[in-house]
């Protein structure tokens, strides 16, 4: 296991997400070259998880911290962990494949996690939902 990226983000400015995403993609590309589709998917995953942590977890408070850690697990698999300082959420339904956006109420919540779940190899939640870890393989 090789640490590729680790950072604590303080605050909720939108431009932070773009900067961090760029840094993370660069870190991943030092480990393994990515084709355009892989870059797009990693960018989507990273953006969605960071924005969820800032908006839903930390409630956009400027003094809250979001921890981002990226590991290369082996020659073709990345682990992306995001931890916020929020109270969490009931992630059990997400693990079962039930997303709020699938309800008859046509909720907008949950679409991002549904997309992330479909393009990742694995998604895992912890700390009452204030921590998420995804694994994603690249093509060799």
- Total number of domains constituting the chain: 1
- In the DSSP assignment, the letter for residue 110 is T
pLDDT of residue 97: 61
Q: What DSSP letter does each residue of 12-72 carry, written as one string?
A: --HHHHHHHHHHHHHHHHHHS---HHHHHHHHHHHHHHHHHIIIIISTT-TT-EEEEEEEE
User: What percent of the chain is predicted at pLDDT more than 90?
Assistant: 66
- Please answer whether residues 9 and 50 qualify as being in contact, where contact means their C-beta atoms are separated by less than 8 angstroms: yes
- Summarize pLDDT for 10-53 with one digit per residue, the tens: 987 777 889 999 999 999 999 999 999 999 999 999 999 999 99
Q: Which domain holds residue 89?
A: 2-137
Higher pLDDT, 8 or 110: 8
pLDDT tier for residue 74 given thresholds of 50, 70 and 90: very high
- The CATH code of the domain that includes 125 is 3.30.565.10
Global pTM value: 0.86
**Comparing C-alpha atoms, which of 110, 109, 108, 52 is closest to residue 80?**
52
Q: Under 8 Å CB-to-CB from 116, ≥6 apart: which residues?
A: 44, 45, 48, 49, 123, 134
The single-letter DSSP state of residue 8 is E
Instruction: Note whether 130 and 85 are within 8 A (CB).
Output: yes
């Amino acid at each position: 296991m090789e640490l590729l990226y680790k950072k604590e983000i303080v605050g909720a400015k939108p431009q932070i997400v773009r900067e961090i995403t760029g840094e993370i993609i660069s870190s991943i590309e030092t480990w393994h070259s990515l084709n355009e589709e892989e870059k797009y998917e990693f960018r989507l995953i990273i953006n969605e998880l960071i924005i969820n942590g800032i908006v839903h977890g930390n409630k956009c408070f400027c003094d809250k911290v979001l921890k981002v850690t990226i590991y290369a697990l082996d020659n073709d698999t990345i682990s992306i962990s995001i931890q916020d300082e929020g109270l969490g959420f009931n992630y059990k339904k997400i693990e079962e494949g039930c997303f709020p956006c699938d309800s008859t109420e046509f909720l907008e919540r949950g679409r991002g996690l549904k997309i992330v779940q479909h393009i990742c190899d694995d998604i895992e939640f912890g700390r009452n939902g204030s921590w998420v870890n995804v694994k994603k393989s690249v093509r060799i």
